[in-house]
Structure 1
């Protein structure tokens, strides 16, 4: 198929484009920044550009992973988030419907599922970890990023219903390479390793999830999926995870504490949320290859960690912006 991939120069796009090609698809990349997989330079907020791209390249399906993200809140105003994340998604959906496309994959975020109560966690009086799946709600995103992503999801739902497009929404966990923009401790690699317990995946797994969604979409209508490394925990662990996460981790991974100690790392004292990716496994046949056990195996064998940490990573759209 001829796939329009938005965000093709970004972190996910640079892994997703080759993944799609290996599966036999033709890829047309659209991004603000130039890149090896980007043929169209521009923004999805430009409706004329989107429509022209569909006509010029004969687009048959869309994977929409471009947009403004949580760290962009410090650089862009609310209107920019609406223009890109909401209007841009609408432009793509309208073009896909007009072109008779039968499937559309939208990259969303688990971030929109986090209320202020969950974010404050134990300090805010939360007594057990929130167990989050696609039915969790009501949703109350805590920032403009989450609010615009949720609005875009609703547009996807409407277009799936009104235009008979099978639309797969992937609420991905964390896979960014840079440091967390709100936490200084633990160190970046330590924090990323911890997050494989409940809220992280590799960028390679994120790319594979999008391919699975694209290829399994026909006949599924509108679906939302959480995409994250499978957690080792059960729902019955929720209270213990908030009270003393290390003891719960010890039950599942007796070797974790000693392997972490050798690295000078710290296990989390509490876990305030767990994302459940079971629906993606049931309907898409997709399960992340890398999990917390993979991290421990690398520590035990002295191998390279199975995820990327790059404290100096800057989005290509920002480096491109600085040179314009």
Structure 2
């Protein structure tokens, strides 16, 4: 298929474009910043540009990965999030419907599921178990608000047009250090997050390709590395996560000590990607077990960590 990929110069886009090509698709990239896979420079908020690009390149399906993200809150006003994340999504959806596209893939975020009470800590039953049925949804910032509203546009237009839409609520895959957590940090934090809320950017890209090729109807998916835990362990995770981790990985503490890392004392939410495996045939290749295996062997850590990464949107 001839695929329009938005956000083609970003961290996800630069990994996703080659995978789409490898899968046999012809990719046209659209981004506000130049990049190796970007042919059209401009904003998805520019309705005329979106419709012209879809027509000029004979686009047959859209993968909408472009957005303002949570770190952009300090750089852009709220209106920019509405323009890019909401109006831009509407422009793309309506262009896709007008062109008769059979499918549309939308990159959303697990961040919109993190209500105030979730952010405050575990619930009465222990760690929050967050799959596609988790709710109610009550985003805590303009990023989450704009993404949830865009999701609802996807659902509305899919219902009205019959276009198949996959909404991918991706866990963390950004390469830079966390902008709010300092202890632990860097590689240690990223490794810990593979227990409950992270995946590699390459696995995130693979999920988009799977969604493009296999989606039917309109479905929402949580996209993250599979947690090694069960729901029955939720209460213990919130009080003594190390005991649960060591039950599943007996040498984890030893491997972490050798790396001068620390395991988490508590895990207060867990993202469950089982639906994506069931309906899309997708499963993250890198999980916490793979991180420990790299530590055992002394291999390079497959974490996708890059403290030098600078989003191209900051210089566009």
Residues 1:264 and 2:260 are matched in the alignment? yes
TM-score normalised per structure 2:
0.99
Match of 1:224 in 2: 220
SS of alignment partner, residue 11 of structure 2: coil
Contact map agreement 1:178 1:310 (CA 8 A) in 2: yes
Correspondences of 1:5-20 after superposition (within 5 Å): 5-20=5-20
Q: CA–CA distance in 2 between the matches of 1:55 and 1:111?
A: 33
CA distance in 2: counterparts of 1:115 and 1:158, whole angstroms: 23
Alignment of 1:303-318 (within 5 A): 303-318=299-314
Count of residue correspondences: 316
Aligned equivalent of 1:248, options 226, 244, 252: 244
Would you say the 8 A contact 2:214–2:280 is kept in 1? Answer: yes
Report the Cα distance in structure 2 between the residues aligned to 1:209 and 1:310, rounded to whole angstroms: 21
Give the match's secondary structure for 1:12: helix
Query: For 2:286 and 2:294, how far apart are their aligned partners in 1?
Result: 11
Residue of structure 2 equivalent to 1:136: 134
**Separation in 1 of the partners of 2:40 and 2:308?**
27
Task: Tell me which residue corresponds to 2:33.
Answer: 33
2:178 paired residue among 177, 180, 188:
180
TM-score, normalised to structure 1's length? 0.96
2:152 aligned residue:
154
Is residue 22 of structure 2 the alignment partner of residue 4 of structure 1? Answer: no
Q: Which residue in the other structure is 1:165 paired with?
A: 163
CA distances 1:202-223 after superposition (whole Å, capped 9, x unpaired):
0000010000000002xx2100
Gaps of 5+ in 1: none
Structure 1: 4+ residue segments shifted above 3 A: none
CA distance in 2 between counterparts of 1:40 and 1:119 reads 38
Aligned equivalent of 2:210: 212
What CA deviation, in whole Å up to 9, does each residue of 1:178-205 have, x standing for no partner?
0000011112100000000000000000
1:117–1:126 contact (8 Å) kept in structure 2: no
Match of 1:278 in 2: 274
C-alpha distance in structure 2 between counterparts of 1:183 and 1:287, whole Å: 27
Secondary structure in 2 matching 1:170: strand
